[in-house]
Amino acid sequence: MSQSEETALGLEAADKVLRTERPSRDAARIAQVRRVGGAIAAVSGMAGARWEFYVIEKKEPNAFCLPGGIVFVNSGLFPYVKNDDQLAAVIGHEVAHALAHHGAERVSQRMAVALPGVAVATVLGSESPALGQAFASVYGIGANVGYVLPHSRQQESEADRIGLILMAKAGYDPDAAVGFWNNMRAAKGSKPPEFLSTHPADDSRIQNIIRFLPEARSYIPASVPPPPDDDPPPGVDG
C-alpha cells in the first residue's frame, strides 16, 4: 500500500469518527494532547504524515492513531494520565503504530488471506474498491464504526519500544510509561487472559517496557535537564 493510499484511508476513517463521536470541549485537555502530540510528531521523522490530534468524549480509557497520523484520545483515559510524561507514553505508542505502518500491514495481511495469488499484487498495485473494503474490514468501519485497530501482541510490543524512543527524543521521561501502565493495571474491571487478547497482559507489558527503558533513555537529548521526580520508580504504582 502506498503512503498516499494509507493517508487517504486514514482521513476517511477520521471523518467517520468525527461524525460519529462527540469531540471534547475541554480546552485544557485538548491543549495538552496537542502540545504533547506535536512534540512527539516533530521527532517522528515520518514523511508525508498529516498529524492531527483530537480528544473525544468517550468513557473507555483508550487512544488510537489512524494511518497517516491522525490521533484520537478518549476522555476516559485522563484519570489514568497523571502528567505530560505519562500522556507522552500513550501518544508515543500510538504515533509508533503509524510510523511502523501497522495499519497498512494489517490490511495487507487481510488481503493476502482473502485474495488469491495474482489478484493480491494487482489490487495492491492500483486504486481499487477492494483495497477500501479490506481496510474497512480490518477497522470495522461501516455498521458500527469500530475504528480501533486490533493490533497483534507483536505490533503492540514494537509500538511500545518505538514509542519510548519517540517520547525520549521529544524530551519526556520514558520511565513514566511504567507509572501509566501501573495506573491502568490498578483500574477495576475484568480483562481476558493474554493468550485470548491481541494486547499483552499488563504485567507482561510492564516487564517488556522496563526491559526497553535503557535503550530509550539513550535517546534523551543532552540539552534536556533531568525530568522532575513526579513518577514513582518502575514497578511502583502511581
Which residues are marked as active site? 94
Cβ pair 37, 66 in contact under 8 A: no
Cβ pair 56, 4 in contact under 8 A: no
Tell me the mean pLDDT in the region 75-81.
95
Model confidence pLDDT, tens digit, residues 139-179? 443 333 333 344 466 778 888 999 999 999 999 999 999 99
Model confidence pLDDT, tens digit, residues 202-211? 688 899 999 9
Distance CA 163, CA 96 (A): 5
Q: Which carries the bigger pLDDT value, residue 73 or residue 186? A: 73
Q: Is the pLDDT of residue 92 over 50?
A: yes
Q: Which carries the bigger pLDDT value, residue 39 or residue 199? A: 39
Model confidence pLDDT, tens digit, residues 207-227? 999 999 999 999 999 876 554
Distance CA 238, CA 53 (A): 26
Model confidence pLDDT, tens digit, residues 103-121? 555 555 554 444 444 444 4
CA torsion through residues 117, 122, 125, 129, sign: negative
141 closest CA partner among 3, 7, 12 = 12
> Where do the domains of the chain lie?
3-101+148-217
Predicted pLDDT at 121: 43
74 closest CA partner among 83, 62, 65 = 62
Provide the pairing of β-strand 63-66 with 70-74.
Answer: antiparallel
Q: What is the pTM of this model?
A: 0.73
